[in-house]
Amino acid sequence: MQRQWRLVLLLIGAAALVCPARAQQPPPPPASAAPAKPKPATKPAAPKPVATAPAAAVAGGAQPKLLGQYGAWGAYTASPGGKKICFAIAKPASAETNPPNRPRNPVYMFISTRPAEKVSNEVSIVIGYPFKPGSDAAAQIGSTSFALYTQQDGAWIKNAAEEAHMVDAMRTAETAVIRGVSAKGTQSTDTYALKGVAQALDRTAQECK
C-alpha cells in the first residue's frame, strides 16, 4: 500500500474524533486510524498519526460515519476516493510505561476491513512512540500470546496466518495486553478491554460485505 493511502486512513481516523459531535452522535474513543500493514520485506515508511480538525477535508472529504458504539469499541465506515472501508477502534483501558509517566502520542488498536483490497479484520496497533528498531512487540489475548513485528510507531501480527485466530481470541477474551519497547528503551504495557469488540466487528462486517 502506498504512503499516500496510509495517510488517508490516518486522516479518516483523526476525522472520526471531531465528526460525531457535528453529526450529533455519541463520541468514539479518542483514537486515530492506523496505516494498513506494510509488507515486512519492503518496510515502507509509515507516517505519524495526525489528529487535527481539518482532517476530513484533507482526506478528500471522506468523513467517517459512526455505525455504533459497543463498550470501548467504536465501529465506523468511510469512503476515501470512493473505496469503502470499515473499522473498529479503541483506546487502552490502561497504559503504563517503565520508567513511569513517559510522554506518548495517542495509543489505540485499529481493526480494518477494506473490500476493494480484499482485506478483512486486519489488526493494527499504534503505540504512541517509535519502537526500538528491529524489535518485536507482543500481544497477550487471554491465555494466548501473539508475536508482533514493528515499524516506527506501528505493530502488526508477525505471522499473517495467525491473524484470524487472533481476532477470534479477541472475541472471547476479556483483555488484550500489548507490550513493546521504544527506541529510547522505555517499556510499555497497554491493556485493552475487549467487551464490545465482537459486536463492533460484526457491525463492520455487515457494513463492508
Residue 186 belongs to domain with CATH number: 2.60.40.1880
Asked if residue 106 has pLDDT above 90, the reply is: no
Residue 202 in grid coordinates: 460484526
Residue-wise pLDDT tens digits, 123-147: 988 899 999 999 999 999 999 999 9
Q: Which residue has the cell 528503551?
A: 185
Are the beta carbons of 113 and 208 closer than 8 angstroms?
Answer: yes
The chain-wide mean pLDDT, for the chain, equals 79
Q: What's the N-to-C CA distance of the chain in angstroms?
A: 21
Structural contact between residues 149 and 135, judged by C-beta atoms closer than 8 angstroms: no
8 A C-beta contact, residue 192 and residue 72:
yes
Inter-residue contact 147 to 187 (CB < 8 Å):
no
Most confident of 98-112, 117-131, 171-185: 171-185
Does the structure show a pLDDT above 70 at 12? no
With a cut of 50, say whether residue 56 has pLDDT above it.
Answer: no
Nearest one of 29, 47, 80, 8 to 154, comparing CA atoms: 47
Q: What percent of the chain has pLDDT over 70?
A: 70
Domain that holds residue 47: 3-207
Q: Cβ distance 68 to 199 under 8 Å?
A: yes
**Strand, coil or helix: what is 55?**
helix
Give the CA angle between residues 136, 202, 27 to the nearest 5°: 80
* Residues composing the chain: 209
Q: What is the pLDDT of residue 117?
A: 87
Q: Which three cell numbers stand for residue 161?
A: 496466518
Total tally of structural domains belonging to the chain: 1
Residue 30 has pLDDT above 80, yes or no: no
